[in-house]
């Protein structure tokens, strides 16, 4: 299990246990994290599971692939650490991952 912390725009945070192999989006949905909509169900087709990866975790999570980068065009307030959580797989290396939620998912 890997621990993932989701921080809401108001500062409140929730830490969940995620099974490796799931995506960060799926871990969020399983734990009813607010602000992750995932309208398309994880097909990298809607940009409603947008998160900001905490600075300390950028290297571990890597950069978005081209398709994800294209889809991030549909997200709002895209920043340096922006990722679509459906495109990040939970691994043991991400134990402790911290992501922040944007103010809105559109």
Q: Does 53 help bind other proteins (rule: CB under 8 A)?
A: no
Distance CA(27)–CA(60), nearest Å, equals 18
**6: exposed, middle or buried (C-beta count within 10 Å: 0-12, 13-18, 19+)?**
buried
Q: From the list 5, 8, 15, 74, which residue makes contact with other proteins (rule: CB under 8 A)?
A: 74
Distance CA(44)–CA(53), nearest Å, equals 17
Rounded least distance, CB 2 to other proteins, Å: 27
Greatest Cα-to-Cα distance within the chain, rounded to the nearest angstrom: 32
Applying CB under 8 A, the span of 4-12, 53-61, 74-82, 89-97 interacting with other proteins comes to 74-82
In the structure encoding, which two tokens stand for residue 51, read together?
Answer: 């998160």
Rounded least distance, CB 84 to other proteins, Å: 13
Q: Does 86 help bind other proteins (rule: CB under 8 A)?
A: no
Binding site for other proteins (CB under 8 A): 39-40, 43, 45-48, 69-70, 72-74, 76-78, 103-104, 106
């Amino acid at each position: 299990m890997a621990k993932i912390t989701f921080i809401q725009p108001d500062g409140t945070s929730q830490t969940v246990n995620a099974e490796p192999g799931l995506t960060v989006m799926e871990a969020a949905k399983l734990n009813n994290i607010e602000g992750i909509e995932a309208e398309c169900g994880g097909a990298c087709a809607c940009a409603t599971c947008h998160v900001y990866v905490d600075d300390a975790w950028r290297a571990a999570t890597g950069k978005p692939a081209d398709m994800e980068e294209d889809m991030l065009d549909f997200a709002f307030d895209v920043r340096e650490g922006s990722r679509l959580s459906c495109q990040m797989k939970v691994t043991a290396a991400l134990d402790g991952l911290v992501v922040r939620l944007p103010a809105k998912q559109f």
